[in-house]
Amino acid sequence: MKRKIFFLGLFMAFLLQVTAQTFTVTGTVLNASNSEPLVGATVKVKGVNKFTQTDAQGRFTLTEVATGSTLSISYAGMEVREVKASAGAMTIELGLAGSSTLSDLVVVGYGTQKVTKVSGAISTVKGADIEKLRPVRTEEALQGRAAGVNVIQSGSPGSKPTVLIRGIPSYSGTDPVVVIDGVPQTLTDLNSINASEIESINVLKDAAASSIFGVKGGNGVIVVTTRSGRKGQKAEFNINSNYGIQQVLNTVGVLNATEYAAMINEGSTVAGGPVIFPNLSSIGLGTNWQDQVFKRASLQTHNVSARGGSDQVTYFLSAGLLQQGGIVGGDDKSLFKRGNLTANFNIDLTSRLRFILNTSAVMLNGRGVQENSFNSILGSALNYDPTVTVANNVPNTVGQYGYSTRILSEIFNPLTKLDNTYNKNTGSKLYGKAELQYKLYKGLLFTSRFGYTKYDGNARSFTPLVFWGTNNVDNSMNPDGSTVAGRFNSVAHEKTSNFNYTWESFANYDFDWKENHHFETVFGFSLAKVSGNAAGATRQDVPFNSWEFADFTAATGVNNATNSNAVNGYYYQYFRRNLSKFLRANYDYQEKYLASLTIRRDGSYAFGTDNKNANFLSGSAGWLISKEKFFKASWVDQLKLRGSYGTVGNENVNPQYVGIVTGGPSYGPTANSNGYNFGDVFYPGATVGSAANTALRWEKQIQANVGFDALLSKRKILLTADWFSREVDGLLFTPSASLYLGTVPIPTANIGATKTSGYEITLGYNDKLGKNFLINTTATFTTATNLVTATNTDGTAKIFGGYYFNGQNQSVTVFEKGQTPGYFFGHQAIGIFQNAAEIASAPAQAGAVPGDIRFADVDGNGVIDAKDKTKIGDPFPDFTIGWNLNLSFKGIDLTAFTYASVGNDVYSAWERNGNYTNKYRGVLARWTGEGSTNDPRNPRYSFTDANSNIRVSSRYVEDGSFVKLKNIQLGYTLPSKMVKKVFSSLRVYAQARNLITLTKYSGFDPEIAGGILDTGVDRGAYPQARTFSIGLDIKL
């Protein structure tokens, strides 16, 4: 039927073209998913200033339309369709945005490109998908949706996840650069963008796509485009509201009080000590501290936006509020709150000159709890004595909560700790851009853009006087409520201020040569500065030991001869400067043969005069093989082959010089301290505090990419696959140097190399089954293998990380030659010594007795020593899969998103392992005598541990693979007949996030973020919450 109309229309058009100049077009615009009319859709005649909007029945009429004109029909959240105007009643159906990729434009650096002409590797996530998820942070929306992007989330409200685009090139500074509406920002800044304002996110992954960003593009680029209005669009209002409750998914199995007491008795008696708990029968289950600290927390988002435009001005206005409480301690103690106000204007000052002003004001507010260590809130909840009662029942002692008489330091009653956690961070951010575009003549456009981010933070925290329990070494309050001599409460303030800006001017020139040769070129320069400063002050003696009076002005501390800490202050400042010039030319022949070349010259203040600038070059080519005449496969609608090669850089260092530090004790990483006391009078000193490496130069990455995009089976199936490789040359690395050089920090040098390669595949399917049933599903597959190929010539340079404390300071992750960056490094636990004879015949292992772990003699020298440490795990997944499913039937829609990570190991490091701290339940299966177990995870239990069963070993490595149902949402859009008098559309939905997690990991959550050297090390990390919410989407 439709086809008939089409042909008829063509025929009519043909006739009309011959007979008349203009005609009247009428039609109806429908939602393809439910065939409901779309009210307020914009219908525009392309190339002329003529448009209209559909009425309450979705109908439109345009008079005096030139024959042969093309209509462009658009509607928020829907794909833009272009159809030839035809006589007679046209019926135009719009599908959801993202279901078709044919005519889409991708935002690349300094311009846009038609998606079919792209020959670099770019992943796109559409605003509609982001809106469905309602993420707190935008990165969440990339997880599993953008192939090649690995996002490892943290559960702490508003905290930054680990984002890796195409593997791990370096040991630090792996954050991709974020570009919001053309303005470079950082990953940290993604905490302040309101997800509902995002039109689309493009992830630029290979050198061809990202090298236009030069030095900043080395770790990939996340290009965020926010919404804007359209010309001639009647004001369109969107109101969204979502309210949810978060709760913890699961708790960790630790011992109950009776089990704990029995284990303590065993540990003590095996070590030759007394029985600690003589009567086990009276102890009971005790207190589960995890149940005490996990609270329900709220999650809500509310947004209102309006957009539209006149002939000269288009606008997008938005206001949003997001509030996420934390499940550790609830909203009172852990909270992330964000308010956004955005106004984006495009103003055509003249027909050639356009002014664009994007302004966002963000208020960030939060409070948090100590995280991710054995003595954090969660660490304390896991490790604290379960025999202690929740309430304090000791007469004549202050304090609401019970305390241990055995754990006297480091680990505290988590409720007391929570109660005494007071902090508040407030921040305001202003970001945006002012941009002028001048169209000199057709195809030549000049742009000058000033983008900025201004952030002011204000943090306050209060350390009260606390009575932790009798004899606790950290008591600052006596049992009777008086102050311990020499201890003080204190308040700390810090104000930070940053201003970053980028000024870029460039010219775009698009032209055709001999009709079929199409060129798109851009050249320009970019000047960037990052600057900031911070000042802080602390003061003791806060009145009434209370948060209410925790302020510098209210506190009364005054420095004196015995206490120079009563009032303190500090200040510091920093900056960075860059200057770059760039040039790019894209070429296509009939949209069939594609080529692109990018040249960028970057200058950084961080390098010495010889190496200030570096050139980066990249190129790509594509072939739309499906456009060739010989290409006959009818089931293939489009097939494009792509390849790219190029270099990008990294300047992640500070300038080097032989600096002289003066003053006193240093708190820096190597504590290269100064000064001395003569007769108890402090004399400041001076010493060499930094060293320079004059040969320092840019780190360069060589990237290659090969891939294809295919649309199959009447555009129902989309398949994209890429293979990539990245090699880092001259990796900025802190070399290992002779210890006899002393303690001056060793300067960074270009001594490393890494190699990463992998595959990524996206498979999409969308179809309409019957009249009303729509399916749209996408799966992504991402894999990368990473290898450090060089450090020092002799491979001795190592970067250690993943530090934790279990009675000793331990380091579990290493960045070194020949290994995956950040792999787990320790002893291989291979069994349990069953008897003395086994120990005698095994490689010499100092201190071992029967029941202790037997470690592998990796180097075969007959002694178990430090040289036997080896790879015991890898925190990064072998591959990840994301699967997004959208179904709709009439007004009902269902969205489900599942994410799987396979092969990532977790190092369980939350156990403090003190004599009287609580333990993981696994200890119940411990070795108790010959033949009881040979599982190296379960050695004997004793207070003394001469064998060091607690050393870094495979004992603590677990498979952290997981499948998470990250998001499931069921919505219902009310029939337009019911609501049309008030709303143009009304949708209600229920949503559950993190509903199901399937994993073998014994801890809270196998997803543990923290940069290259801390990812996968679980020190009691903040788990992600399960959220149930309901919401409302209204369009007016």
Partner 1 sequence: MRIQVLPIFIGVFLTTSLTSCKKWIDYDPKEDFQITERNYLSSESDYRTMTVSVYTPMQWLCRAPLIGDIATNDAASGGENASDVLALQQIDDFTHTPVNNILTELWQEAFEGINRANYMHQYKQTNPAGKSVDFAGKEALYGEVYFLRAYYYFHLVRFFGDVPLFVDKRLSLSESRTLQRSPKADVYAQIERDLTAAISVLPAVQVQKGRITKYAAQALLGKVYLYQNKFDNAAQTLESVIAANAFSLVSDYGSQFLSSGENGPESVFEIQHSNNSPYYNWGVPNRGQGNFAVQMVGVRGLNGNGAMPYASGWSFDLPTSSLANAFEAGDRRKNVAILNIEEYKNANPGFGITYQVAPFKNTGLYNQKYHPRKGETSGQVELNYKNNFRVIRYADVLLMAAEAFNRSTTPNDTKAQQYLNQVRARAFGDNLHNITATGAVLRQSIWDERRTEFAMEGERFFDLVRTGQAASKITGFQTGKHEVFPIPQLEIDISVLTQNSGY
Interface with partner 1 in residues 886-925 (CB under 8 A): 914-915
Contact with partner 1 (CB under 8 A) among 950, 979, 990, 1032:
950
Q: What is the DSSP string of 327-370?
A: TBT-TTTSEEEEEEEEEEEEEESSSSEEEEEEEEEEEEEEE---
Query: Which region among 120-128, 143-151, 187-195, 941-949 touches partner 1 (by CB under 8 A)?
Result: 941-949
> 519 or 805: whose CB is closer to partner 1?
805
Contact with partner 1 (CB under 8 A) among 944, 972, 988, 995:
944
Map the footprint of partner 1 across residues 137-196, applying CB under 8 A.
Answer: none
Burial class for 327, CB neighbours closer than 10 Å (0-12, 13-18, 19+): buried
x/- letters, 825..864, toward partner 1 (CB under 8 A): ---------------------xx-----------------
CB atoms near residue 912 (< 10 Å)? 26
> 173 or 273: whose CB is closer to partner 1?
273
Strands ordered across the beta sheet of 870-873: 799-805, 809-815, 823-826, 870-873
Q: Taken in order 736, 742, 745, 750, is the CA torsion positive or negative?
A: negative
Of 919, 920, 990, the closest CA to residue 958 belongs to 920
CA distance 611 to 596: 28
Binding flag, residue 714, partner 1 (CB under 8 A): no
Binding flag, residue 575, partner 1 (CB under 8 A): yes
Binding flag, residue 590, partner 1 (CB under 8 A): no
Query: Which region among 140-148, 673-681, 822-830, 889-897 touches partner 1 (by CB under 8 A)?
Result: 673-681
Contact with partner 1 (CB under 8 A) among 581, 715, 716, 871:
581
CA distance 883 to 256: 39
Map the footprint of partner 1 across residues 775-804, applying CB under 8 A.
Answer: 796
CA end-to-end span of the chain, whole Å? Answer: 33
Binding flag, residue 408, partner 1 (CB under 8 A): yes
Helices (H), 786-871: 836-841
Query: Which region among 221-229, 242-250, 733-741, 887-895 touches partner 1 (by CB under 8 A)?
Result: 733-741
> 462 or 781: whose CB is closer to partner 1?
462
Helices (H), 171-256: 207-210
Query: Which region among 324-332, 703-711, 742-750, 988-996 touches partner 1 (by CB under 8 A)?
Result: 742-750
Binding flag, residue 687, partner 1 (CB under 8 A): yes
C-alpha distances in angstroms, 234 versus 43, 57, 319? 11, 16, 19
Shortest distance, CB of residue 251 to partner 1, whole angstroms? Answer: 28
Q: How many chain residues interact with partner 1 (CB under 8 A)?
A: 94
Binding flag, residue 593, partner 1 (CB under 8 A): no
Radius of gyration of the chain (CA): 32
Binding flag, residue 673, partner 1 (CB under 8 A): yes
- The residue type found at 982 is V
Contact with partner 1 (CB under 8 A) among 352, 517, 714, 1000:
352
Two tokens, residue 738 = 């002779």
Map the footprint of partner 1 across residues 522-541, applying CB under 8 A.
Answer: 525, 527
Binding flag, residue 481, partner 1 (CB under 8 A): no
Shortest distance, CB of residue 571 to partner 1, whole angstroms? Answer: 10
Binding flag, residue 683, partner 1 (CB under 8 A): yes
Query: Which region among 103-111, 625-633, 686-694, 713-721 touches partner 1 (by CB under 8 A)?
Result: 686-694
Shortest distance, CB of residue 127 to partner 1, whole angstroms? Answer: 33
CA distance 689 to 675: 13
**Three-class DSSP category at 77:** coil
All residues at 6 or more sequence positions from 814 whose CB lies less than 8 Å from its CB, including other chains: 798, 799, 800, 801, 822, 823, 825
> 131 or 602: whose CB is closer to partner 1?
602
Map the footprint of partner 1 across residues 600-619, applying CB under 8 A.
Answer: 603-606, 612-613
All residues at 6 or more sequence positions from 527 whose CB lies less than 8 Å from its CB, including other chains: 502, 503, 504, 578, 579
Shortest distance, CB of residue 664 to partner 1, whole angstroms? Answer: 5
> 604 or 884: whose CB is closer to partner 1?
604
Q: What is the DSSP string of 573-600?
A: EEEEEEEEEEEEEEEEETTTEEEEEEEE
Map the footprint of partner 1 across residues 41-70, applying CB under 8 A.
Answer: none
Shortest distance, CB of residue 522 to partner 1, whole angstroms? Answer: 13
Dihedral of the CA atoms 254, 258, 260, 264 (nearest 10)?
-170
Two tokens, residue 206 = 């290979």
> 400 or 573: whose CB is closer to partner 1?
573
Binding flag, residue 8, partner 1 (CB under 8 A): no
Map the footprint of partner 1 across residues 438-477, applying CB under 8 A.
Answer: 438, 440, 446, 448, 471, 473
